Structure 1
Amino acid sequence: MPTPIVQFGTSRFLQAHADLFISEALEAGNAIGKITIVQTTGSAERAGRLNALAAPQGFPVIIRGLADGVEIDRRQQVTSVARALSTASDWQDVQRIVAEEAEILISNTGDTGYDVESGKPDTAIPPSFPGKLLLLLHARFVAGGRPLTVLPCELIARNGDRLKEVILRLQAERIGDADFEKWLSSSAVVWGNTLVDRIVSEPLEPAGAIAEPYALWAIESQPGLSVPCTHPSIHLVDDLTPYEKLKLHILNLGHTVLADIWLKTERPRDETVKDMLRDADVAATLMDIYATEVIPGFAAKGLGREAADYVALTLDRFRNPFLEHRLADIANHHAEKIVRRIADFRAWSPDVAMPRLAAIAGNR
């Protein structure tokens, strides 16, 4: 059976996010078809997942956490994956599927996923994901160049625009085909900007994951863009900016506020977010910052109601009884996080008084 969706990456995040959404949509008749998963790294550690990902019975995803204050603990089977291949051993099959079957490409290749090896690779299959994607897109172009939507899910601002820039640069350096460049830049290839959000706390072996109830896949709409399915967690939006700001300046900002308190006071070294919020003083401090500084900052931009709703969601996520989110991990790179999450928020909404956040940001 042809697979109109090709997914680059075998991460537990994608298993509990896109793969689960498409599986649920298929059951309701609301998806365009099944997925071919492609492992791009050649990692021996992840190679064992491939058979399990494409098993006929599917793989499990366990949803655990709080939703509207109610504890959720349920298990689902994900059956949206038809094939699981590796670029290391199945390159010709991957080329054919991308050239002939694919309608949508999805990727989640980690923080360094857009990094490219210097110079032209001396192997037939480039080591980097962009290098591989360039050759796969060229194979599709040579095969007739049917329209295609690319939906990257890496946590990079304007990820579709960024990936397009990388591919166009590589095309000029490695192929140099003016007609191919024109196709990559035309309406035949839609490079979607997306924002994904779900905490996927643990992998299951040999495949599967444990995730929180909350999930979001925001996709910025544009002419010609296709989506793999309709699903309550998938939102086609005119502008990703409000979603980016809500996540960065409520969820991420809250983590940094808690980390700042944890670093400046005598607290347990292995303390988690949920444990810290059992301290009434800490919880009151965070709530006061949200109520008197953060929500008013969003309200000044016309997003007050959205911010209040997102604060409530965030507190459920912070208090997830199944999640062990340690402050020691959140406190890594604290100074840089203060700039992006707190100082930038104050600069974005400068007319709102934010004394507590200003004290944390200092001169940043």
Structure 2
Amino acid sequence: MAIPTVLQFGTSRFLQAHADLFLAEAMPEARPVVVVQSSGDPARAGRVAALAQGYDVRIRGLQDGKPLDETRRVTSVARGLSLGPDLDEVARLVAGDVEMILSNTADAGFAPQPADAGTRFDMAMSYPAKLAHLLRGRFEAGGAPVQIMPTELVRNNGRVLRDLVLAAAGAMPAGYRDWLRDEVVWVNSLVDRIVSEPLHPAGAVAEPYALWAIEAQPRLRLPCTHPAIREVPDLGPIERRKLFVLNLGHSWIVADWLARGRAGATHVRDVMADADWAGRLRDLYAQEVLPGFAAAGEGDGVAEYVATTLERFANPYLDHRLEDIAQNHAEKLARRIGAFLDWAEANGDTGAKPQLRAALEGK
């Protein structure tokens, strides 16, 4: 496949150890990525410059039951820009050279800002509003439609970003808004990899597991061919596996830990090192979770995903603190365990599920 020209908004360690690493492994002779620091924060200027020099990602964890600790070199980044001082160059790239736009702009990246109402580009705008102004330059230059690939952890992230960009472009010409809605390719995807800590000045430490699930649609172009990239007809089953296995397991562990008075463990790996505690978690998956997936007709491959999840939990190198997972615990219980119980029952699974119900009820 021809090498795409990729503009990436965000310098996060997640993207460094995810999309940028995949592109480097798939196309070791190419440097297709231009990274843009979207916040303009001068404190991150050193990281932006270092990315284009090449950086290391250290992969640490368990793979097929064996410890893995290796370093991979990432050379996919050709340039680093900052959206403030380099705005003209970013606008030029968006208007002509870029074929794909990636983003990971943190939890607040999609949140509307007061500056979004302005008629000219403003660094105080939200990412969708900035994108609305930048893409207008491409439309007016007669550029080909671009593919937009957000990796933010938002359900239907491509569709959500499209709607936010269209809202930000509400006062712009109707022809441009039609082009945004009908010609630009907005891609829904789901990403999964724990990137536990940064390296300096650039790089990161990450677990072996990685997934970039991309929802199929007409005119979709995958960024590269890589074992971690999967094109799927529907993200729903993958979203449910992540939410109702990985995330549900985390919240059940925290509920049990809170019921013990926060005793017995500090990290998720400590739970897996306790034979009784880990055994109860395995029983939970086998007796209460897997039947729900089977009843919904989504059981194929879930047992293997559970095994992979348990291996991820046992990662001896990962400092995944229970205290951190416990933040917004009540909301997480409702979204992960409560929603699973409702979904399983709606699909005909009427099992008792005592461990899940005890966690939900705080017992």
TM-fit CA distance, 1:269 = 8.0
Q: 1:202 aligns with which of 197, 202, 205?
A: 197
Which whole-Å deviations, capped at 9, do the CAs of 1:72-130 have from their partners, x for residues lacking one?
10001100000110111100000111111111110000111111212524874342211
- Who is 1:362 aligned against? 361
Kept after mapping to 1: 8 A contact 2:96/2:143:
no
Amino acid at match of 2:255: D
In structure 2, distance between residues paired with 1:242 and 1:96: 39
- TM-aligned CA distance change 1:142 to 1:296, over 3 Å: same
TM-score (normalizing by structure 1) = 0.94
In structure 2, distance between residues paired with 1:79 and 1:268: 44
- Mapping of 1:108-119 within 5 angstroms? 108-118=104-114
- Who is 1:242 aligned against? 237
2:170 partner SS: helix
- Who is 1:159 aligned against? 157
Amino acid at match of 2:354: P
In structure 2, distance between residues paired with 1:203 and 1:293: 37
Q: 1:258 aligns with which of 253, 256, 264?
A: 253
- Mapping of 1:1-364 within 5 angstroms? 4-27=5-28, 34-55=32-53, 58-118=54-114, 120-121=117-118, 124-127=121-124, 128-173=126-171, 176-186=172-182, 188-268=183-263, 271-350=266-345, 351-352=348-349, 353=351, 354-362=353-361
In structure 2, distance between residues paired with 1:268 and 1:95: 54
Choose 133-142 or 2-11, whichever is displaced more.
2-11
Q: C-alpha root-mean-square deviation of aligned residues, in Å? A: 1.7
Which whole-Å deviations, capped at 9, do the CAs of 1:289-335 have from their partners, x for residues lacking one?
10001111111122223210110110110000100111111111111
Kept after mapping to 2: 8 A contact 1:104/1:227:
no
Kept after mapping to 2: 8 A contact 1:198/1:211:
yes
Which whole-Å deviations, capped at 9, do the CAs of 1:277-299 have from their partners, x for residues lacking one?
22222111111110001111111
TM-fit CA distance, 1:167 = 0.6
In structure 2, distance between residues paired with 1:3 and 1:281: 50
1:172 partner SS: coil
In structure 1, distance between residues paired with 2:259 and 2:358: 13
Kept after mapping to 1: 8 A contact 2:149/2:186:
yes
Kept after mapping to 2: 8 A contact 1:130/1:166:
yes
Identity %: 50
1:305 partner SS: coil
- Corresponding residue pairs, total: 354
2:205 partner SS: strand
TM-fit CA distance, 1:260 = 0.4
Kept after mapping to 2: 8 A contact 1:3/1:82:
no
- TM-aligned CA distance change 1:296 to 1:270, over 3 Å: closer
Amino acid at match of 2:11: T
